[in-house]
Structure 1
Amino acid sequence: MNKTLMASLLALALTGCASSQSDQPFSLTLAHINDTQSHFDADDVRLSFANKAVYTRAGGSARVFNYANQLREQAHTNNQAFLFLHAGDAWQGSGYFTQHKGAMNADILSRMQLDAMTLGEREFALDNRHLASFIEQVDFPVLAANLDARQDADLQAVENLQPYVLYAFKGNKKKRVASVKDAGKSPVVAVLGLVRQDMATAGKQVGQLSFEQEVSRAQSTVNALKEQGVSHIVALTHLGLERDNQLAQKVNGIDVIVGGHAQGLLGDFTALGGTKNEPYARRFTNPDGRGSTCVVQSGQFGQAIGKVTVTFTYDGRVSQCEGGNTLLVDQQFYTDVRRNDTQRVSEQQQQSIMAAIADADADNIAIVAEDKSLQQYIAKEYQPALLKAYGKVIGVVPQTLAHAQLPVTGKSSQVAPLVAASQLYWLNTQGVQSVTGRQADFSLVAASAINQGVEIGAIKAGQISMELLPGNNPISLVSLTGHQVAGLLLEAINGAIAPNADGGSFPYVAGLRYQFNETSRGRGYLSRIEYARNGQWTRLDPNTQYQVALTGFHALANGGGQTLFDAQQVLTDRIDLAYVNGNLAAFPVARLSKNAQGAIEVNYINQPLNCQQAQVSCNTPAYAFTDYVRDNRPALTALAEPGISLNRL
């Protein structure tokens, strides 16, 4: 158990259930965001009014801060309790994070006057030293009741990492307290944090942390809080909507779950050209059949903010839970995503849009100015370095391109097939072929090689290397037989769809197409594998050698398992491609081997490839994608045929 949690529960036990808490009805307003992913600037968005597409900017820290302040002021005017919460995944997702490693997040989030935050998987993108620094720098508590940090050298002594926090309210005024006893007759709200129980197996940098089961730890923490006399409990989670809904039905005593990770914007946004997702503020009956829990989430990137008002009965149960997500947009609209002055909507259309937004029924969107002070601070302290690193515009994305690990109905990757296509294109350009001396037949890309989707708007070279493909794994070119390719695909797919797998090994392709049929949970067979030969789809021959492009995950046999390791164990012809002092170079590989700990090692024929050297750049996937967009697809849209048929049970 977490050392801090042990101390907190001991304090609860010592306090006992005696409490002088008021039995008067109580109302609490929660403003909340999640999955902001270092999107401190506003994003381009496509909306629809009167069936006409228009483009504007949404979100950004300065706009979210301004709207949160408006909600604070409303609560102050109504003398109502108010909290502003972040449900995790504040980190990795933009060039800002690449440059500042969490320090900017600590700075800006503190300036936004949050009252608490929990941890998402992106907070574990680096190592616990960076995470500890972030938690120590922020001026609000970071909550995780089911995280045990006692064995971790970096986080075990971080006092600001807590299982929960208590706030006592006197009207709109709040005070952080150590116990209900310290609050006197003032109502107390407990906010407890929950992180994913499977974080340690999700490929994150968790050090020596351990993660306890979400439901059991939530219930034991709630029970201890109730014993002290806390009547109002909020769970701040980063589990995903489905697990939040399950939590509400398996744990007694949580009044509100403010969640993250799902990223979908709860509510109906079809009138704005968006989608209709699950309702906001859905209530579930607890296992005891007496209490109920209200579940809310906002969207992603800080484009919207959620607001829920919870009213409690005299005995502390939820009687009402109402609110919604509000998309925060700029006041200027355009007919094109490039948003040039000549592309502004007409004055008549502008007035029509403003009237639609001002409509009393359109409470899911609001025109909100950016907080001037925070916007100027970001523009002065952080933007110049980022804009320099981003470089020139190489294309435009008319519609957001989504990325998901597995291609299932309604949720697939539009980005991974483009990345695979870019590598096949790049390898077969004249300049690259002069280095490799080979013609690539097809390309395989692991889903985990892509960091995120591609948002609508202009796309710059630096965004590709810093956000979309930020890794340091080179493109590899290796000879494999058709039989070996089939084995690689089978092992990678079975590994990706196995129970509890994260899908990271799933192979997306270019110049190749296949059909996989699942026959039992996490297992199946390939019914078709074809490659494009002279513009015609041709069945892959088991005995023919093909030149296959791979990224680091597959090339190191992590996703292809034993088949790919065996294929490179003796006298492989694989070459890894990287830039040295700005010039493309090939690094021939002799074979793969395993060290005493079982880790795979690459043995080079001549000079080893050291991606940590200052003059070496191994991120050839980013170079390939940049060239592909600039040369072939300056208007970047999804491919019509991704080449994959995945038939799940």
Structure 2
Amino acid sequence: MAQTYPLRLAHINDTHSNFEPSRVQFTVNQGRQNYRVVTHSGGYARLAFHIEKARAQAKAANQEFLLLHGGDSFQGTLYFREFQGRANAHLLNLLKPDAMVLGNHEIDAGNLPVKAFLNRIDFPLLAGNMDLSHEDPLKSGRLSGHPMLLDYNTQTATANTLLKPFFNTTLAIVGITLDQMKLIARPDPDTHFIHAIDTTKRTVAQLKKQGIHHIIVLSHLGVDQDRELAAAVDGISLIVGGHSHTLQGDFTDLGLSNMPYGEQVNHTPIVHAGKYAETLGLVDIEFDSKGKAISFNGSNHFMLSADITVSESSANAQTDRSLTNKPAITRQQASRAIASMLEAHPNNLGEQENTEITQIIKTQYRPALDALENNTLTYIPRDFVHTRLPSKDYPHGSELAPWVSRSMYKAARKIDPSIDFALHNAGGVRQDLNKGRLSLADVLGRILPFELPLTLYKIKGQYLVEVIESAINTATNNGVTGTGSGSFPYPYGLKFAYDGHQPKGKRVNHVEVYQNKQWRPLNTQAHYIGVSSSYTASGKEGYDALLHAQWQKNLQSQTLQEAFVDYVSHYGEKINQALTINVQYTSHRSPPMTDSAITNKQ
């Protein structure tokens, strides 16, 4: 009988400094009624407990065990703002990962924070397509040659690879990250990123020549590019991904996604585990002697608190209620039923935790955050959902991002009253704005964790149209190699329609600017004054046409965070009002929208 090679894999990605349990929200149906359910999931103490449990189970079953991190440990919460990666390294070491791939947010502030992280971690950081051969050997943030980094090998044009014993053979782990890193992050100018698919293809071929057939690619490319990678490169045993915050699995009973966990492309399973340390991917895989997965059994798991809050959802099932004119069960009955359902849910591991890690967070890191938590800015009258891209449920996209743009506009107007619009990228907003008390910590650590100055600029109308289309093309991979959905633009004082079925260069139309208290068609030959974060104003993520601005002026005294804090502190009650719909969007994946249909929706 041919030997098989069993592996138990635990994987996480895009944890973004969420060391404590994160707030999660579900929509659950009970008694012909939809309910909104709020609770908490994950965090490092719960992750540690269940990872150790999985590790012990693997040992008892004579399986090899791996814990892999798909990148983007940095940014996201006040823990990163306060400790700049020190807490990330400390707490990740306690999880004992076998490897992590470099994410774009690790290199948001250049190479120096990456070096500090490398100096602290006990596991290798993989960046097999990061070329450091031109790096200044005398600079303080030099990464080349660091013993904890596996980067690009210029002599072989392949990734330096982590090799691990695997029963009677060898397992290779190849780390591949975004090759368009300079468009989405801020690596040092002497740091370059080689084409992800080409690097992987050469690396896999080299490993195969060496007789190594069990090859895992640890990727920070996003699920769409992981699919392209699997289709283009034969012989990858498994792709463990990150970057796109993709929750694989059927979670329709919780009002969430339904997509295959471990979907196969070209005989290669691809796994992703959501975001923010809310979920843990666990899978048992058997490989044959050639590295092909012949058995695959796993899923993503929440780690839910027993405490839940249940309220009536606005998305209710109407059919039966219209007949009875009352719910089939009471709120209390529904709450008990939902609590029981969640506790027994096959994708809920529960709230058991590693108490040692809980105490470390509580005593060493939490005190610095408490003062910010106690600073109340305002009370928000309702939930505002943040979704990066327009969708069936949110056809105009994010409910929150336009409010962030409005706060930028109001802040910039105090400096230049002639300002016409604000424009912000979806990825600059990280989470929903929830009903109830809003603290300074919520804004700085959860919703807008990036401390970016605002930038004023004067730009010709034609370039503004180019910016909008390029950002959306990049966000949706519409005919370009995208940088991710975070590129999608959300304006204030500006509105537009985008039709993804039109030829490139003609997808944006019906552009209007709000001037003198009325909407006016954009004049492509006129100049307008706008404000964005310094990140997008520098041309990142498809916003390169902003570099055609007649002038740019960084407002060092006014950051994105400060603008939103100031706005909600003074005008929090106005956030209950609806903003003008400023995004009309037709995806290139949906049926084309006629010009008349667009006009009727304006």
TM-score (norm 2): 0.78
Cα deviation 1:223-243 (Å, max 9, x = unaligned): 333333334221111111111
1:30 aligns with 2:4: no
SS at match of 1:150: coil
Q: How does 1:95-134 map to 2 (within 5 A)?
A: 95-134=78-117
Range moving further from structure 2, 110-119 or 76-85: 76-85
SS at match of 1:365: coil
Q: Which residue does 2:327 correspond to in 1?
A: none
Cα deviation 1:250-282 (Å, max 9, x = unaligned): 222211111111212011111012222x20011
Q: Distance in 2 between matches of 1:631 and 1:562?
A: 31
Measured at CA, do residues 508 and 562 of structure 1 come closer, stay the same or move farther in structure 2, by a change above 3 Å?
A: closer
Q: How does 1:245-284 map to 2 (within 5 A)?
A: 245-276=227-258, 278-284=259-265
Q: Which residue does 2:302 correspond to in 1?
A: 327
**8 Å contact kept, 1:304–1:327:** yes
Q: Which residue does 2:593 correspond to in 1?
A: none
Q: Which residue does 2:37 correspond to in 1?
A: 54
Range moving further from structure 2, 296-305 or 363-372: 363-372
**8 Å contact kept, 1:464–1:470:** no
What is the aligned counterpart of 2:348 among 365, 370, 373?
365
Aligned length: 539
Q: Which residue does 1:622 correspond to in 2?
A: 561
Deviation at 1:442, TM superposition (A): 4.4
Q: Which residue does 2:190 correspond to in 1?
A: 208
SS at match of 1:335: strand
SS at match of 1:109: helix
Q: Which residue does 2:338 correspond to in 1?
A: 353
Deviation at 1:386, TM superposition (A): 2.1
Q: Distance in 1 between matches of 2:217 and 2:577?
A: 38
Deviation at 1:294, TM superposition (A): 1.2
**8 Å contact kept, 1:192–1:235:** yes
What is the aligned counterpart of 1:313 among 263, 288, 295?
288
Measured at CA, do residues 216 and 127 of structure 1 come closer, stay the same or move farther in structure 2, by a change above 3 Å?
A: same
Percent of matched pairs sharing the same residue: 27
**8 Å contact kept, 2:235–2:291:** no
What is the aligned counterpart of 1:644 among 574, 583, 588?
583
Q: Distance in 2 between matches of 1:61 and 1:453?
A: 19
SS at match of 1:38: coil
Counterpart AA for 1:298 = A
Q: Distance in 2 between matches of 1:222 and 1:421?
A: 49
Root-mean-square deviation (CA, aligned residues, Å) is: 3.7
What is the aligned counterpart of 1:508 among 466, 490, 507?
490
Q: Which residue does 1:217 correspond to in 2?
A: 199
1:632 aligns with 2:571: yes
SS at match of 1:205: coil
Cα deviation 1:70-112 (Å, max 9, x = unaligned): 2122222323211111011111211211222222111110111
Q: Distance in 1 between matches of 2:546 and 2:351?
A: 55
Q: How does 1:433-582 map to 2 (within 5 A)?
A: 442-447=420-425, 450-454=428-432, 456=434, 459-465=438-444, 468=448, 470-474=450-454, 476=456, 486-496=461-471, 497=473, 499-500=480-481, 502=483, 508-515=490-497, 519-524=502-507, 526-531=509-514, 533-534=516-517, 537=519, 552=534, 561=545, 565-566=549-550, 568=551
Q: Which residue does 1:236 correspond to in 2?
A: 218
Q: Distance in 1 between matches of 2:130 and 2:362?
A: 36
Counterpart AA for 2:285 = V
Deviation at 1:138, TM superposition (A): 0.8
Q: Distance in 2 between matches of 1:550 and 1:640?
A: 19
Measured at CA, do residues 88 and 501 of structure 1 come closer, stay the same or move farther in structure 2, by a change above 3 Å?
A: closer
What is the aligned counterpart of 1:67 among 38, 41, 50?
50
Deviation at 1:283, TM superposition (A): 1.9
Q: Which residue does 1:158 correspond to in 2?
A: 146
Q: Which residue does 1:300 correspond to in 2?
A: 275
SS at match of 1:367: coil
Deviation at 1:648, TM superposition (A): 6.3
Measured at CA, do residues 269 and 335 of structure 1 come closer, stay the same or move farther in structure 2, by a change above 3 Å?
A: same
Deviation at 1:134, TM superposition (A): 0.9
SS at match of 2:68: strand
**8 Å contact kept, 1:91–1:105:** yes
**8 Å contact kept, 2:35–2:311:** no
Q: Which residue does 2:155 correspond to in 1?
A: none
Q: Indicate the structure (1 or 2) with the bigger Cα radius of gyration.
A: 1
Cα deviation 1:53-77 (Å, max 9, x = unaligned): 2211111111111111221222223
SS at match of 1:229: coil
Range moving further from structure 2, 246-255 or 322-331: 246-255
Cα deviation 1:273-311 (Å, max 9, x = unaligned): 2222x20011233xxxxxx21111110001001111111
Counterpart AA for 2:341 = A
**8 Å contact kept, 2:77–2:449:** no
SS at match of 2:295: strand
Q: Distance in 2 between matches of 1:29 and 1:525?
A: 48
Q: Which residue does 1:43 correspond to in 2?
A: 22
**8 Å contact kept, 2:101–2:220:** yes
Deviation at 1:188, TM superposition (A): 3.1
Q: Which residue does 2:600 correspond to in 1?
A: none
Q: How does 1:118-197 map to 2 (within 5 A)?
A: 118-152=101-135, 153=137, 154-162=142-150, 163-169=160-166, 186-197=168-179
Q: Distance in 1 between matches of 2:97 and 2:524?
A: 59
**8 Å contact kept, 1:48–1:54:** yes
Deviation at 1:635, TM superposition (A): 9.4
Range moving further from structure 2, 557-566 or 493-502: 557-566
1:393 aligns with 2:376: yes
Q: Distance in 2 between matches of 1:137 and 1:397?
A: 43
Q: Distance in 2 between matches of 1:161 and 1:501?
A: 26
**8 Å contact kept, 2:107–2:185:** no
**8 Å contact kept, 1:397–1:635:** no
TM-score (norm 1): 0.73
Deviation at 1:517, TM superposition (A): 5.8
Measured at CA, do residues 557 and 140 of structure 1 come closer, stay the same or move farther in structure 2, by a change above 3 Å?
A: closer
Measured at CA, do residues 24 and 220 of structure 1 come closer, stay the same or move farther in structure 2, by a change above 3 Å?
A: same
Counterpart AA for 1:401 = V
Cα deviation 1:477-501 (Å, max 9, x = unaligned): x8x7xxx663452242244347446
Measured at CA, do residues 544 and 265 of structure 1 come closer, stay the same or move farther in structure 2, by a change above 3 Å?
A: closer
SS at match of 2:282: strand
**8 Å contact kept, 1:515–1:527:** yes
Q: Distance in 2 between matches of 1:402 and 1:294?
A: 30
SS at match of 2:39: strand
